[in-house]
Each structure stands twice: as C-alpha cells, then as structure tokens.
A = this chain, B = another copy of it.
C-alpha cells in the first residue's frame, strides 16, 4: 500500500474514533512514519489523541521524531506522570533538541519531571553552544574498565544494552572517567572470554572535544566511515558520544545552509512547509534589499557607459549578454570552489593551484565564447567587424576576470575564517557586473573612436 493511502486510512480511523484500529495499525508501523503522520495532522487535538494511542515505548520514540510545535502541544495536553514516562525513555540528544526549541515555561515543567541525575546532564548538555559537538552528543553509551575480562564486558553489555542508544562501540574509562580506549563488540566476539579489555582495546582513539564545530565532526564521520565518535572535555574525560545518524543530519543541514546562503537567503531553522510566511520574508528581504540598492549603482555606471557608446548602438545591445556571461562563468567557479571546500576536496593551501586551474578553464571557456560570438556577429552585422571584435574580446576578458575573482573571493574568505558561501556568493554578480562593464568600456575606448 502506498504510504499516502495508508495515512488516509489512519486519518479515517481517527475521524471515526476507531481508536482500537488506530492502535493496531500503529504497532506495525515504523516510529518515524508514525511521527510524520502525527506531524501532518491539521488539528492539534487530533495529534494529541493519535499520540495517546501509542504504547509507552513506541510513544517515546515517536515523540523524539516529532516537530517541536507538535511536541509542545502534546506536553501541554498530558499530565506530569505521562510526561515523566516519556522523559525516562528519551535519549539525551533528543531531549536536548526538544528543550532548545520549547518556550521557557514549558522547559521548566519538563525539567521538573525528569529524574534529578538526568536533569543534571540535561542542564549540562543545554550549555553547549549551537553547532558545537557538545550540542549533538548523547549520554547513553556503554563504559567498560581496563581490568574487566571479555566475559565481564559482555555481561555488562547484556545488562545495560537495553537503555543505550548504541552498543557496538564500548568506551574504556579509568576511575576518573578519562577515555583510555575503545573496544567494538566485533572485537569482543572475536576474543577469548578471559582476555583482558586492556589487552584488546584500541588506544589510538579518534575523538573530538565538546566545543569542536559540529560540521568538522560530521565531516570526520564521512571521511573515516565512522559509526560513533567519543566527545571528551579538555581533560580527556568522556562526556558523551555522537552517533552517525546525527552526523548525517548535520551534513544535510550544512548543505542546505550553503544552498540558502548561495541563493542570498539567511539560513532557515525549520522545514519549508513548517516555516511561516513572515519568517521566510525575514530570511529573504535583507539580501534582496542590499542587492537592489547595489544594482542601482551598477545601473548608474551602465548609464554613463551607454551614453559614451551612443555612436555604436550595437555595443549597447550587447551589454546584458556580456554581464550575464560574466556572472554565469563566475557563478560556476565560485560554486565549484565553495562546494569543494565544504567537502574538503579543496583546502586553503590549494589557493594557487585553484587559481591556476580556473585561469586555464577561463581561457578555454572565454576563448570559445568569444569566438562563437565573433562568428555570430559577423554573420548578422557584416559591416561591424571592429565592434564584433570589441565585444568578443570583452567576453573573453570578462570570463577570465570573473573566474579569477570567483576563485579568489571564497578562498580568501576561508583564509580569513569567514564563511565562503556567505561572502562570495550573493555579491559576486554585482562585482562581476562592474568588472565586465569597466573592461568593456576600456577595450571599446582603445579600439574604437569613442
């Protein structure tokens, strides 16, 4: 059955108040799908009723996958005991994600309803800055001691696995919770029962600290094919772990942010359909306004050149094509460089390699475009060979300059620790437009009686 048809059926159960059928349907469903169904419901009341049809354990997992506004409605509709049950089952990373979105009074009520030791961890985890490794880690992991045997370790895993988010990498800690090494369950299964953990653990652990940038951490998952990574404080004490599913989310979010910045928008916090019109307006209007104002400046340069070109109307007609071509070529280069840096194919020290490569690409592209344009203009305007030549040379030079600027700008931003996508993209067209016009004017002045 198609998922949408399935959702329609569930919706019917809800409307006809066939809660037993709804309950039965839920037990066979994946929790992520149930969360999507509940999130998509138009009425807050229905969402709460649907949520109440879930069993205790499934309830917590569905809850973790709901959007913040639906979580808030549910919290406001349930009593303290129900809230406690959900919070008991929730993993720390999901609880932190939720608390960061909720209004202060709801947060207070939630924190009042968690066990004191959990409250301490939650309060600690809530302190980590946005976009830090600390902000995406969880506290549920298996810890072992060096003097345990493999048999002890497996017993400990069997005893505690049920409430851990991931069990396949275990962390070996000393008495002060310093991270001494890691042991995978695979390694445990391949060892003898009486082997000592200290003998089989891997001491050369890849790890990050709480304040590391979440993007860098997510990139380590992708580069080294990790499933989890431990997060330590400055004294190498283990405070949490990050799992690959959260790293995947970060990679997706960071890519989305780059798309938004490169299209001259402020980054969004929510999925598109969940954002209200005013938020979208606020994200989009600043750059639109800046670019409109800077467009008037280009317009006035343009106006001056146009009057200089008065005697050669053909030159005026070619202006939009010239600036557009420069903008397109520059945009190709800056997108390539910005994305290349985001996925670490390009590092700041590659600056000269990149410029040298872009220069050669620009010579080829600019040459081909100039040539085609020259042929086109000679076919259409046989008597204007000098103007055709002027326009073609201008196209060639504009592409070369556009590609150079478009590789310098994002790499320079990176070297200055600025955000390449933000610095290099929206302003690029305006800058390239100005460069194209000035180049055009200078060439025309040199070649034609202006």
Contact = CB atoms under 8 A, between A and B. Distances in A.
A190 B372 contact: no
Contact of A324 (B168, B256, B357, B429): B429
Count of chain copies: 2
A399 B289 CA distance: 12
Contacts of A336: 260, 263, 265, 272
A36 B189 CA distance: 31
Q: Could you say which interface size class chain A belongs to?
A: 35 or more
A430 to B, nearest CB: 8
A313 B28 CA distance: 70
A277 interface: yes
B295 A340 contact: no
A382 interface: no
Given A186-B167, A292-B372, A227 B227 contact: yes
B281 A158 contact: no
Interface stretch (A76-84, A129-137, A175-183, A298-306): A298-306
Contacts of A302: 317, 320
A30 to B, nearest CB: 6
A353 interface: yes
A14 interface: no
Contact of A263 (B325, B332, B343, B345): B332
Contact of A328 (B161, B264, B334, B361): B264
A255 interface: yes
A24 interface: no
Given A224-B30, A265-B335, A271-B345, A325 B364 contact: no
Interface string A155-196: 001100110000110000000000000000110011000000
A346 B259 CA distance: 16
A258 B342 CA distance: 14
Given A271-B345, A284-B332, A353-B273, A185 B162 contact: no
A224 B64 CA distance: 12
Interface in A289-344: 289, 291-293, 295-296, 298-300, 302-303, 306, 313, 316-321, 323-325, 328-329, 331-332, 334-337, 339-340, 343
